[in-house]
């Protein structure tokens, strides 16, 4: 992944030109942890690993997970809620209740009273290699933790938390999709999940700033790095400096046009947190603490999440819990853009997008688990005339199939693409030729399913929508 | 025969049922204690919504079929659910009313109970059929799932029959004895079966409501 990324970055390092206002780091600082780590990923479950999992299980059973494991009544109401079971109806083993039962059977075997006497009667099973293999297949490769089933469960079973707990147990014994864990190890070792070196990152930002200044009416626009006392501390998805520098450029253009006082850290700027996907809390907490420390170091009032689904949720809703509270406010680009529009701090020309029809895909972590559903629509309606909602939208939106770290699990790619059929069908039904979204995992998945299901549509995020429509 | 039934019924209706009821309460208390001992979900993030209002809304979900797609799109299934659970409530109520305030079980009241018991019996039969024949439900069903719904269905049928005879002026019958014997069995069995889901229901719903209420996903219009 890193090698490919390096190649993609060639253009970025070709034309570096430091901006006067941007202090370049004195030397290449070792970011991430001091000691590099390589997680011992195992190809299959062994009896020793199963024994270790038995020891770990109690530590993962908080009140939500325990209630979710004990509370399923097998009513089957979740069947129509899951993008896997709706898109691949022939595979009954992709029903949320069935998938969760791979974990539940083991839990019941350990904790259910009736199972102590009649395990088969309540569907309890001891943790065997076969059951663990099924858990691996269904809870890594058959669930994106999107929580759509949770919202449709009469009992309030939190499948997202349940799956994350199971993943955490499997990961702790080394049974984790290798590419997913590599991403987390890279983040752990270098401070961002694509191992972008600090000096290279700063050069990239400088280059983007130059490109931005070359745009009409943007000659005085800046992308401040390490500016102390800035109001907003902007975080980025590493895909942006690596593959999508235009997204940073678009975001910076909007913020500059509105006169927003912001900065980017040269040290910790990666808002992603793939430890949310592998269920290892200490890593999730560590990555969050790096960002929090930087916000404090630069004395910013707001931590501003870029357009990234799980990154937003991690910063906005989980970070404070991992760290026990934070002394700054946390918001997102989607919310800030909406506020800038409502406060008339930016002016938009809808004719920039004349002839295009738009639809918006709600990232599960932003909408269902994050509470942001109105703001993106404020942004879109201010920028375009032709906007059509998908049949299921807002907190009812189907997952595109790219959540839960699915894009970092190539062994499940075929199922991931198949699971995106319901989303592809809904996009097609809108007749839109632009699919908007606010999440990089969604971007990549939507691009794949749009191509796979032969839909003539472009995929863009909100900053890319706003930037060309700005009246400067 | 009538005398022996009467004597056995008296024992079942009162002392045995009280002992079993106490046992069930103890089991539930233990369940709740074990659950509450586990760490709860922290929420230190700045809230966008109201956790308490979210919890209330979530708890009331059962009465708001429009709030979930799963019930919105399956109105018939939801109606079955409502009737079935009202019947559960009434049937359990009958096991208290018959021995404690038999005067309340007038023909009108009894017929009202019987309507729900009869409907719940039919729903139970349909649910057993569905569980056995719908591949999506069969694949997730355990023997406990089949046993629980079968037991409830038989319970409704027996209760219906016992009340029929009660209305016919025969309060102390073998069927009534079976009805109370099943009640006793329920009190002992339910804490160990899936039927005890109603104890977990408030916990699951309140936690769901707190999380998503606090994040402003629920109570959107109230905000």
Asked, for residue A232, whether it belongs to a domain, the answer is: yes
CB-based contact B205 A155, cutoff 8 Å? yes
Q: Mutating which of B77, B143, B208 best tests the A interface, going by the most A Cβ atoms within 10 A? A: B208
- Cβ-count burial B180-197 (b if 16+ within 10 Å, e if not): bebbbebbebbbbbbbbb
CB-based contact A76 B136, cutoff 8 Å? yes
Measured between CA atoms, the residue of chain B closest to residue A91 is B136
Are both A83 and A196 inside the same structural domain?
no
Query: For chains A and B, what is the number of CB pairs under 8 angstroms?
Result: 150
Measured between CA atoms, the residue of chain B closest to residue A371 is B217
Are both A199 and A134 inside the same structural domain?
no
Asked, for residue A10, whether it belongs to a domain, the answer is: no
Are both A309 and A408 inside the same structural domain?
no
Once rounded to an integer, what is the mean pLDDT over residues B138-165? Answer: 97
User: How many beta carbons lie within 10 A of that of residue B92, not counting itself?
Assistant: 15
Helix axes B174-189, B75-100, angle to 10 degrees: 110
Residues of B in contact with A114 (CB under 8 A): 144, 192-193
ipTM greater than cut 0.90? yes
**What's residue A47's pLDDT?**
98
Are both A151 and A203 inside the same structural domain?
no
**What's residue B172's pLDDT?**
86
**What's residue B205's pLDDT?**
96
Whether A253 and A215 have beta carbons less than 8 Å apart is answered as yes
Q: Which of A2-11, A287-296, B50-59, B153-162 has the lowest mean pLDDT?
A: A2-11
Asked, for residue A167, whether it belongs to a domain, the answer is: yes
Q: What is the 3-state secondary structure (H, E, C) of chain B?
A: CHHHHHHHHHHHHHHHHHHHHHHHHHHHHHHHHHHHCCCCCCCCCCCCCCHHHHHHHHHHHHHCHHHCHHHHCCHHHHHHHHHHHHHHHHHHHHHHHHHHCHHHCCHHHHHHHHHHHHHHHHHHHHHHHHHHHCHHHHCCCCHHHHHHHHHHHHHHHHHHHHHHHHHCCCCCCHHHHHHHHHHHHHHHHHHHCHHHHHHHHHHHHHHHHHHHHHCCCCCCCCC
Helix axes B174-189, B17-36, angle to 10 degrees: 20
CA distance B66 to A423: 23
CB-based contact A121 B73, cutoff 8 Å? no
DSSP secondary structure of A423-469 = HHHHHHHHT-SEEEES-HHHHHHHHHHHHHTT---EEEEHHHHHHHH
**What's residue B99's pLDDT?**
86
Are both A380 and A442 inside the same structural domain?
yes
**What's residue A361's pLDDT?**
98
Are both A332 and A351 inside the same structural domain?
no
CA distance A395 to A128: 37
Asked, for residue A89, whether it belongs to a domain, the answer is: yes
Asked, for residue A152, whether it belongs to a domain, the answer is: yes
CB-based contact B49 A92, cutoff 8 Å? no
Instruction: At B138, list the tokens.
Output: 């069969």
Are both A51 and A157 inside the same structural domain?
yes
Q: Provide the sign of the torsion angle of the four alpha carbons B152, A73, B69, A95, taken in this order.
A: negative
**What's residue B1's pLDDT?**
44
pTM value is 0.93
CB-based contact B201 A71, cutoff 8 Å? yes
Q: Mutating which of B24, B34, B70 best tests the A interface, going by the most A Cβ atoms within 10 A? A: B70
CB-based contact B70 A321, cutoff 8 Å? no
User: From the CA of A374, how many Å to the nearest CA of chain B?
Assistant: 10
Quick check: helix, strand or coil at residue A228?
A: coil
Q: Extract the residue ranges of chain A whose pLDDT is less than 50.
A: 1-21
Are both A247 and A147 inside the same structural domain?
no
Quick check: helix, strand or coil at residue A50?
A: helix
Asked, for residue A333, whether it belongs to a domain, the answer is: yes
Measured between CA atoms, the residue of chain A closest to residue B142 is A123
Residues of A in contact with B61 (CB under 8 A): 154, 156
Q: How far is CA A83 from CA A78, A406, B157, in A?
A: 11, 13, 40
Whether A359 and A425 have beta carbons less than 8 Å apart is answered as no
CB-based contact A154 B70, cutoff 8 Å? yes
User: From the CA of A183, how many Å to the nearest CA of chain B?
Assistant: 27
Once rounded to an integer, what is the mean pLDDT over residues B127-138? Answer: 97
CA distance B35 to B7: 41
Q: What residues contact A46, with CB distance under 8 A and at least 6 apart?
A: none
Whether A230 and A273 have beta carbons less than 8 Å apart is answered as no
Whether A337 and A375 have beta carbons less than 8 Å apart is answered as yes
Q: A136-170: per-residue pLDDT in tens?
A: 999 999 999 999 999 999 999 999 999 999 999 99
CB-based contact A61 B38, cutoff 8 Å? yes
Q: How far is CA A410 from CA A299, A308, A402, A442, in A?
A: 40, 21, 11, 16
Counted domains in chain A: 3
Radius of gyration of chain B (CA): 21
Quick check: helix, strand or coil at residue A332?
A: strand
User: From the CA of B210, how many Å to the nearest CA of chain A?
Assistant: 11
Q: What residues contact A194, with CB distance under 8 A and at least 6 apart?
A: A1, A2, A5, A186, A238, A239, A241, A242
Which CATH number do you get for residue A422? 3.40.50
Are both A196 and A328 inside the same structural domain?
yes
Are both A283 and A430 inside the same structural domain?
no
Q: B97-119: per-residue pLDDT in tens?
A: 998 888 999 999 999 999 999 99
Asked, for residue A38, whether it belongs to a domain, the answer is: no
Asked, for residue A27, whether it belongs to a domain, the answer is: no
**What's residue B5's pLDDT?**
61
**What's residue A23's pLDDT?**
54
Whether A333 and A251 have beta carbons less than 8 Å apart is answered as yes
- Counting residues of chain B whose pLDDT is more than 90, the rounded percentage is 78
Which position has the higher pLDDT, A92 or B7?
A: A92
Residues of B in contact with A71 (CB under 8 A): 197, 200-201, 203-204
Once rounded to an integer, what is the mean pLDDT over residues B134-156? Answer: 97
State which residues form the domain around A134.
Answer: 47-176
Q: A176, A196, A216 — which closes off a domain?
A: A176
User: From the CA of A80, how many Å to the nearest CA of chain B?
Assistant: 7
Are both A66 and A159 inside the same structural domain?
yes
- Checking if the pLDDT of B4 tops 80, the result is no
Which domains, ranges and CATH numbers included, belong to chain B? 2-16+65-194 (1.20.950.20)
CB-based contact B43 A92, cutoff 8 Å? no
**What's residue A20's pLDDT?**
44
Q: A294, A314, A339 — which closes off a domain?
A: A339
- Checking if the pLDDT of B15 tops 90, the result is no
Which CATH number do you get for residue A115? 1.10.1060
């Amino acid at each position: 992944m890193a090698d490919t990324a390096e190649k993609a970055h060639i253009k970025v390092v070709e034309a570096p030109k430091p901006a006067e206002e941007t202090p370049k780091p004195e030397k290449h600082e070792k970011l991430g942890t001091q000691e590099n780590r390589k997680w011992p990923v195992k190809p299959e479950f062994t009896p020793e690993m199963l024994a270790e999992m038995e020891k770990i299980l109690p530590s993962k059973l908080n009140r939500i997970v325990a209630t979710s494991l004990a509370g399923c009544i097998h009513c089957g109401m979740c069947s129509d809620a899951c993008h896997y079971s709706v898109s691949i109806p022939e595979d009954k083993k992709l029903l949320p209740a069935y998938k969760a039962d791979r974990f539940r059977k083991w839990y019941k075997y350990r904790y259910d009273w009736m199972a102590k006497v009649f395990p088969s009667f309540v569907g309890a099973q001891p943790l065997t290699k076969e059951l663990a293999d099924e858990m691996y297949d269904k809870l890594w490769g058959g669930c994106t933790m999107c929580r759509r089933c949770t919202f449709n469960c009469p009992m309030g079973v939190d499948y997202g938390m349940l799956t994350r707990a199971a993943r955490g147990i499997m990961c702790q014994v080394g049974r984790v999709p290798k590419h997913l864990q590599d991403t987390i190890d890279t983040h752990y070792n270098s401070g961002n999940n694509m191992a972008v070196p600090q000096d290279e990152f700063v050069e990239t930002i400088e280059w983007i700033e130059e490109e931005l200044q070359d745009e009409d009416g943007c000659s005085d626009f800046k992308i401040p790095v390490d500016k102390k006392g800035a109001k907003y501390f902007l975080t980025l998805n590493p895909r942006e400096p690596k593959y999508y520098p235009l997204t940073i450029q678009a975001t910076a253009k909007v913020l500059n046009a509105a006169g927003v006082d912001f900065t980017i850290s040269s040290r910790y700027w990666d808002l992603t947190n793939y430890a949310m996907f592998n269920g290892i809390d200490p890593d999730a907490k560590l990555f969050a603490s790096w960002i929090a420390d930087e916000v404090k170091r630069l004395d910013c009032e707001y931590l501003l999440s870029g357009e990234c689904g799980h990154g937003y949720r991690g910063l906005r809703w989980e970070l404070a819990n991992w760290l026990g509270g934070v002394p700054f406010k946390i918001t997102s680009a989607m919310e800030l853009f909406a506020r800038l529009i409502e406060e008339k701090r930016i002016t938009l020309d809808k004719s920039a997008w004349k002839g295009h029809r738009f639809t918006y895909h709600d990232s599960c972590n932003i909408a269902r688990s994050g509470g942001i559903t109105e703001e993106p629509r404020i942004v879109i309606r201010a920028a375009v005339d032709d906007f059509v909602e998908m049949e299921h939208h807002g907190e009812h939106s189907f997952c595109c199939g790219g959540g839960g770290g699915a894009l970092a699990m190539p062994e499940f790619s075929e199922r991931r693409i198949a699971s995106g059929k319901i989303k592809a069908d809904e996009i097609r039904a809108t007749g839109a030729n632009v699919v908007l979204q606010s999440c990089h995992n969604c971007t990549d998945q939507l691009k794949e399913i749009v191509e796979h299901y032969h839909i003539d549509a472009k995929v863009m995020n909100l900053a890319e929508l706003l930037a060309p429509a700005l009246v400067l | 025969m009538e005398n022996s039934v009467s004597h056995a019924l008296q024992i079942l209706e009162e002392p045995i049922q009280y002992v079993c009821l106490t046992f069930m309460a103890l089991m539930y208390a233990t369940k709740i204690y074990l659950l509450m001992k586990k760490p709860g979900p922290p929420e230190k993030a700045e809230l966008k919504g109201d956790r308490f209002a979210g919890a209330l809304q979530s708890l009331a979900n059962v009465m708001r079929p429009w709030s979930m797609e799963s019930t919105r799109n399956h109105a018939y299934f939801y109606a079955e659910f409502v009737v079935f659970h009202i019947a559960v409530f009434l049937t359990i109520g009958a096991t208290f009313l018959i021995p404690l305030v038999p005067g309340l079980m007038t023909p009108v009241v009894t017929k009202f109970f019987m309507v729900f018991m009869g409907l719940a019996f039919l729903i139970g039969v349909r649910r057993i059929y569905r569980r056995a024949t719908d591949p999506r439900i069969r694949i997730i069903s355990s023997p406990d799932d089949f046993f629980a719904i079968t037991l409830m269905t038989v319970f409704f049928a027996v209760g219906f029959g016992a009340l029929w005879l009660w209305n016919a002026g025969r309060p102390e019958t073998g069927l009534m004895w079976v009805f109370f014997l099943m009640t006793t069995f329920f009190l002992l069995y339910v804490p160990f079966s899936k039927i005890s889901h109603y104890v977990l229901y408030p916990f699951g719903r309140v936690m769901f409501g707190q999380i998503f209420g606090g994040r402003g996903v629920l109570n959107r219009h109230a905000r």
